[in-house]
Amino acid sequence: MKSRASRPASLVDRSGGGELPGTLSDELRLELIAFRRDLHMHPELGNQEFRTTAAIKARLEAAGLAPEVLATGTGLMCDVGTWDGVRPMLALRADIDALPIPDTKAGVSYRSTVPDRAHACGHDIHTATVLGAGLVLAGLDRQGLLPHAVRLIFQPAEEVLPGGATDAIGDGVLEGVGQIIGVHCDPRVDVGRIGLSAGAITSACDRLEISLDGPGGHTARPHLTTDLVTAAAKVATEVPALLARRTDARSGLAVTWGRLETGHACNVIPQHAELSGTVRCLDLAAWRAAPDMVHAAIDEVAGMYGAKTVIEYVRGVPPVVNEASVVELLGDAMAERRGVYAIEDTEQSLGGEDFSWYLEHVPGAMARLGVRTPGDTRGLDLHRGNFDADEEAITVGVELFTAAALLDGRASHER
């Protein structure tokens, strides 16, 4: 990969060599923006993406391709070019589901039309990007310019633990695949740039559901009851603190609560309480040890207050660990398209991504795709109802993927 240099982040650099085919026509660019906006207006939750799947399938078929809907009924895979059965393919992955939150954007024509549903994580951008790359590569294949077959994967249910990637893998999307690449929208990075790093770039993420039970009673006599309100409060505050003292701080193990429910009246100590949250870890070893440690900490704290516990620890996803050689491929592809100044280093986040499951089977890498308009100071973030993306990111993502496919295809001929 060519060496990187610093340049003001607000500059969209187009100084790449431009020698590779596979850039985006104005006509297709506008079509992909319209496609993305249509998805944005009609968001669908994980494993319910029937309309989205049908739209992707229809457009691929119109290009002469043969997509296959996954066994789950949503999501699909599609090969561009004919696999020779020998040299492994490069896979391009997109996720297609939305989030169960309201779209709070104002002043845009493509705001969600579905109550309490929004593409607030950029999956519509990811989908349009892989679709566009597939259409461009199909055109190159018709001209005899695609050196090797490429697989497109449109995966459902990324937001549903343990992630739709596990079902997609079980359905054979990685058969014949040697490497996989993907992008994730990053509102901290200006459009026209990508963030890259070898090694772990996300954290592991699991779901935690806890029920606390006791006899309850009158608030005038808490000494005769199991005070579940206090027990739940102590579990919420002391379990994270206890775990912080039982794990290496460098592992980044963090328990964070999203829901605590108990009680109905001010003078009644309830008989039942519930907590829900997530467990996140920066490294694989801590993730593997987390369930036993979390169980023990909850039982220890709840037991001090006489509460009986039922713990549901739902395994989520391991960290996304980028393979250095695939990071190099993405870096070379971006340098070809936009120059080395369009590449910046990225840090590991505490977010989870089920792209990690693919990397348990084949080497791969995920790039952070800049979606912030240069100079935008709104501070938009993922999983917020006002999230939006600069649609120039679709063009950047398509050209990144097509360059990576061409470079990988050429390298596979040389190997």
Using alpha carbons, select from 261, 287, 289 the residue that is nearest to residue 274.
Answer: 261
Q: Binning pLDDT at 50, 70 and 90, where does residue 415 land?
A: low
Rg for the chain (alpha carbons), in Å? Answer: 24
For residue 194, is pLDDT > 80?
yes
pLDDT in tens, 264-320: 999 999 999 999 999 999 988 889 899 999 999 999 999 999 999 999 999 999 999
Range list of β-strands (E), 62-167: 68-69, 76-80, 89-95, 150-155
pLDDT (0 to 100) of residue 137: 98
User: Taken in order 356, 359, 365, 371, is the CA torsion positive or negative?
Assistant: negative
Q: What angle do CA 26, 31, 33 make, to 5 degrees?
A: 95
C-alpha to C-alpha distance for 352 and 315, rounded to whole angstroms: 12
Q: Binning pLDDT at 50, 70 and 90, where does residue 412 land?
A: low
Query: What is the rounded average pLDDT for all residues in the chain?
Result: 93
pLDDT (0 to 100) of residue 410: 80
pLDDT in tens, 390-409: 999 999 999 999 999 999 98
C-alpha to C-alpha distance for 51 and 143, rounded to whole angstroms: 32
| Cβ-based neighbours of 319, under 8 Å, separated by 6 or more | 200, 201, 202, 203, 204, 281, 282, 283, 284, 287, 348, 356
- Residue 363: asked if its preceding bond is cis (omega within 30°), the reply is no
For residue 196, is pLDDT > 80?
yes
| Cβ-based neighbours of 3, under 8 Å, separated by 6 or more | 340
- Average pLDDT estimate for 356-370: 97
**Contacts of 296-300 spanning 24+ positions with Cβ under 8 A:** 297/239, 297/242, 297/243, 297/246, 298/210, 298/235, 298/239, 300/242
Helix segments in 151-199, DSSP class H: 165-170
User: Taken in order 227, 228, 233, 237, is the CA torsion positive or negative?
Assistant: positive
pLDDT in tens, 10-69: 334 444 555 789 999 999 999 999 999 999 999 999 999 999 999 999 999 999 999 999
pLDDT in tens, 316-327: 999 999 999 999
353, with CB counted inside 10 A (0-12, 13-18, 19+), is buried
pLDDT (0 to 100) of residue 164: 95
- Average pLDDT estimate for 76-86: 95
Q: Fill in the DSSP letter of residue 325.
A: H
pLDDT (0 to 100) of residue 250: 85
| Cβ-based neighbours of 311, under 8 Å, separated by 6 or more | 208, 209, 210, 211, 294, 295, 298, 299
DSSP notation for 192-233: T-EEE-SEE-S-EEEEEEEEEE---EETT-GGGS--HHHHHH
- Average pLDDT estimate for 130-135: 98
- Average pLDDT estimate for 105-133: 97
For residue 7, is pLDDT > 60?
no
pLDDT (0 to 100) of residue 2: 40
pLDDT in tens, 17-32: 557 899 999 999 999 9
pLDDT (0 to 100) of residue 10: 36
Q: Fill in the DSSP letter of residue 340.
A: G
Q: Binning pLDDT at 50, 70 and 90, where does residue 173 land?
A: very high
**123-142 vs 50-62: helix axis angle to the nearest 10?**
20
Question: Other CB atoms closer than 10 Å to residue 379's CB: what's the count?
Answer: 10
| Structural tokens at position 58 | 């229809």
Q: Are strands 150-155 and 76-80 parallel, antiparallel or unpaired?
A: antiparallel
132: amino acid identity, one letter: G
| Structural tokens at position 305 | 């207050």
User: Roughly how many angstroms between the first and final C-alpha of the chain, as a whole number?
Assistant: 18
Q: Binning pLDDT at 50, 70 and 90, where does residue 336 land?
A: very high
Using alpha carbons, select from 84, 82, 31, 81 the residue that is nearest to residue 58.
Answer: 31
Q: Binning pLDDT at 50, 70 and 90, where does residue 413 land?
A: low
Q: Is 290 helix (H, G, I), strand (E, B) or coil?
A: helix
pLDDT in tens, 232-265: 999 999 999 999 999 988 888 999 999 999 999 9
